[in-house]
């Protein structure tokens, strides 16, 4: 059958089997449609049923998590780990704690992770997990009890050579610490089973900064290729978590000015440029909201979500040269993409996973805006997790400069490979196709080489 029919048949399979998983279907549609030219040239993928096998997780674990809140009441949540693909190495991917978490979202994230991890050039497979638990407003003791309850089950399914979780939305150094403590207590093992650990007990320098720094390194390669730089550019970074903060830090180092940030309640416009020290204090130390930033920073304006124009996400109405969606999936709609284009935006680099809807993505690619897709642009986080695993395995720690250099080299390499692959398949400047084809090929070939498992 033609590659197009093979892709459509696989997407129909997903629709039939996973009918209530629209987000997973969205990301599978993006990947599968863009690899059609590769499938056309290589019939062995169809002969070996690679697509059908690839869209099915190797294993999905769903479990109950019960913890006692500060009032003494039992609270119940769903915990998950989607172990999607281990052909390139142990399952690797973060844990997300957010009320929206469900199997659909985690399957999309784990699926993305397979190709992202493949692009890093390291030996790591793809997985993702988490819980529909909202850390917002919880006390430190509640977070600790939740992490311990979560790990009491997850510990049975992970290990440094089988599955290595890390952080994602709602899971940072504090949560990784509590989960590592619980893992160690339950298994009596001190090993590199979690990444994103604190520096004093096995974490890697630069892991905290890696996703944001990596996104800027990647975007900088695009600009360099087009004889341009970040010097003097005005940028908008959505979100205000770990990815956003270190995207801003690197952009500042490169001479750009970031004028807007956001959270799920609204956004801040700061015409003089975001004060990073204040933002870090508000988010990392005091764990507050961006509205608090606006209250404390002279000249900054807060626009609450209730005032957004219908159908648009407020932060994308701020004029900028470069946009870094770094909050969450589907945060940038077609309307937002049009807005950015109209206001002269020249580059969009994705720090979050799948922040642009399929319609927005198509518009961006057609509009000629430089577009750095998440799988490539935000791979720096997981790549540095891979570097943390290497350091743990060797019982050693590298300096900040060493890790940063390795991260930089990995991001440059991902850029070279994605842009060359795009060219090779006749999609010049379409890094979505480049990233998907390059990421897919390595996994698909390994699946054939390892036989039907
Ligand atoms: N959650 C991050 C991502 O989306 C990092 C995962 C990891 O370090 O394993 O890639």
141: its two tokens:
């003791």
Nearest CA owner, ligand 1 atom 5: 382
Nearest CA owner, ligand 1 atom 10: 382
Residue 116 CA: nearest ligand 1 atom is: 10
How far, in Å, is the centroid of ligand 1 from the Cα of 436? 18
Residues with CB under 6 A from ligand 1: 92-94, 166, 168, 195, 353, 381-382, 385
**pLDDT values of the chain reduced to their tens digit, one per residue, 453 residues:** 999 999 999 999 999 999 899 999 999 999 999 999 999 999 999 999 999 999 999 999 999 999 999 999 999 999 999 999 999 999 999 999 999 999 999 999 999 999 999 999 999 999 999 999 999 999 999 999 999 999 999 999 999 999 999 999 999 999 999 999 999 999 999 999 999 999 999 999 999 999 999 999 999 999 999 999 999 999 999 999 999 999 999 999 999 999 999 999 999 999 999 999 999 999 999 999 999 999 999 999 999 988 776 655 699 999 999 999 999 999 999 999 999 999 999 999 999 999 999 999 999 999 999 999 999 999 999 999 999 999 999 999 999 999 999 999 999 999 999 999 999 999 998 999 999 999 999 999 999 999 998
How far, in Å, is the centroid of ligand 1 from the Cα of 296? 32
Residue 113 CA: nearest ligand 1 atom is: 10
Which secondary structure element, helix H or strand E, spans residue 405, and what is its range?
Answer: helix 400-424
Residue 93 CA: nearest ligand 1 atom is: 9
How far, in Å, is the centroid of ligand 1 from the Cα of 237? 19
Q: What distance in Å separates the CA atoms of residue 130 and residue 106, rounded to the nearest whole number?
A: 8
Q: How large is the C-alpha radius of gyration of the chain?
A: 21
Q: What is the structure's pLDDT at 453?
A: 83
Q: What is the structure's pLDDT at 381?
A: 98
Name the residue of 94, 213, 354 to mutate for ligand 1: max ligand atoms within 8 A of Cβ: 94
Name the residue of 107, 115, 166 to mutate for ligand 1: max ligand atoms within 8 A of Cβ: 166
| Tokens 């979560």, residue located | 150
Name the residue of 164, 381, 383, 414 to mutate for ligand 1: max ligand atoms within 8 A of Cβ: 381
Nearest CA owner, ligand 1 atom 8: 382
How far, in Å, is the centroid of ligand 1 from the Cα of 439? 16
Name the residue of 112, 113, 197 to mutate for ligand 1: max ligand atoms within 8 A of Cβ: 113
CA 72 to chain centre: 35
Walk me through the domains of the chain, giving residue ranges and CATH numbers: 3-54 (no CATH), 59-190 (3.40.50.10860), 210-372 (3.40.50.720)
Residue 92 CA: nearest ligand 1 atom is: 9
Q: Which residues on neighbouring strands pair with residue 372, listed in sequence order?
A: 349
Nearest CA owner, ligand 1 atom 9: 93
Q: Which residues on neighbouring strands pair with residue 126, listed in sequence order?
A: 85
- Helices and strands in the chain: count of H runs, count of E runs: 18, 12
Q: What is the structure's pLDDT at 310?
A: 62
How far, in Å, is the centroid of ligand 1 from the Cα of 44? 31
Q: What is the structure's pLDDT at 313?
A: 65
Q: What is the structure's pLDDT at 312?
A: 59
Residue 385 CA: nearest ligand 1 atom is: 8
CB 340, CB 363: distance < 8 Å: no
How far, in Å, is the centroid of ligand 1 from the Cα of 74? 30
Q: What distance in Å separates the CA atoms of residue 130 and residue 110, rounded to the nearest whole number?
A: 11
- What residues act catalytically? 128
CA 107 to chain centre: 13
How far, in Å, is the centroid of ligand 1 from the Cα of 423? 28
Residue 384 CA: nearest ligand 1 atom is: 8
Q: What is the DSSP string of 324-378?
A: E--S-TT-B-HHHHHHHHHTT--EEE--SSS-B-HHHHHHHHHHT-EEE-HHHHT
Q: Which residues on neighbouring strands pair with residue 166, listed in sequence order?
A: 94
Q: What distance in Å separates the CA atoms of residue 150 and residue 157, rounded to the nearest whole number?
A: 12
Full-model pTM: 0.96
Sequence-ordered alpha helix ranges (H) in 18-129: 22-34, 36-41, 44-47, 50-54, 103-119
How far, in Å, is the centroid of ligand 1 from the Cα of 96? 10
């Amino acid at each position: 059958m033609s590659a197009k029919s093979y892709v459509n048949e696989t997407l129909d399979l997903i629709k039939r089997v996973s009918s209530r998983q629209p987000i997973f279907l969205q990301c599978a549609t993006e990947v599968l449609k863009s690899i059609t030219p590769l499938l056309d040239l290589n019939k062995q993928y169809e002969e070996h049923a690679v697509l059908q096998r690839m869209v099915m997780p190797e294993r999905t674990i769903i479990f109950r998590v019960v913890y006692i809140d500060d009032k003494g009441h039992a609270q119940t949540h769903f915990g998950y780990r989607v172990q999607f693909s281990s052909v390139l190495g142990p399952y690797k991917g973060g844990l997300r704690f957010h009320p929206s978490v469900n199997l659909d979202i985690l399957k999309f994230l784990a699926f993305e992770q397979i190709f992202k991890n493949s692009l890093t050039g390291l030996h790591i497979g793809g997985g993702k997990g988490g819980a529909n638990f909202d850390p917002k407003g919880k006390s430190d003791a509640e977070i600790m009890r939740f992490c311990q309850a979560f790990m009491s089950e997850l510990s049975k399914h992970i290990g440094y050579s089988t599955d290595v979780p890390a952080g994602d939305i709602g899971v940072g150094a504090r949560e990784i610490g509590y989960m590592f403590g619980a893992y160690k207590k339950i298994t009596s093992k001190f090993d590199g089973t979690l990444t994103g650990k604190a520096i004093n007990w096995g974490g890697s320098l630069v892991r905290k900064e890696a996703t944001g720094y990596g996104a800027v390194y990647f975007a900088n390669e695009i600009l360099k290729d087009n004889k341009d730089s970040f010097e003097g550019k005005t940028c908008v970074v959505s979100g205000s978590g770990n990815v956003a903060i270190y995207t801003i830090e690197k952009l500042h180092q490169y001479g750009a000015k970031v004028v807007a940030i956001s959270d799920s309640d609204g956004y801040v416009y700061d015409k003089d440029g975001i004060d990073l020290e204040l933002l870090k204090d508000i988010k990392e130390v005091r764990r507050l909201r961006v509205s608090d930033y606006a209250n404390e920073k002279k000249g900054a304006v807060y626009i609450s979500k209730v005032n957004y124009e219908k159908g648009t996400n407020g932060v994308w109405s701020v004029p900028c040269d470069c946009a870094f969606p770094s909050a969450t999936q589907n945060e940038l709609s077609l309307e937002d993409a049009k807005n950015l284009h109209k206001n002269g935006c020249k580059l969009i680099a994705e720090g979050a996973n799948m922040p642009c809807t399929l319609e927005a993505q198509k518009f961006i690619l057609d509009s000629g805006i430089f577009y750095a897709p998440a799988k490539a642009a935000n791979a720096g986080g997981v790549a540095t997790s891979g570097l943390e695993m290497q350091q743990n395995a060797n019982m050693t720690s590298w300096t900040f400069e060493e890790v940063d250099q390795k991260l930089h080299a990995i991001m440059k390499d991902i850029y070279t490979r994605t842009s060359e692959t795009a060219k090779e398949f006749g999609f010049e400047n379409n890094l979505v196709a480049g990233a998907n084809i390059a990421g897919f090929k390595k996994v698909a070939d390994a699946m054939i080489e390892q036989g039907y498992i």
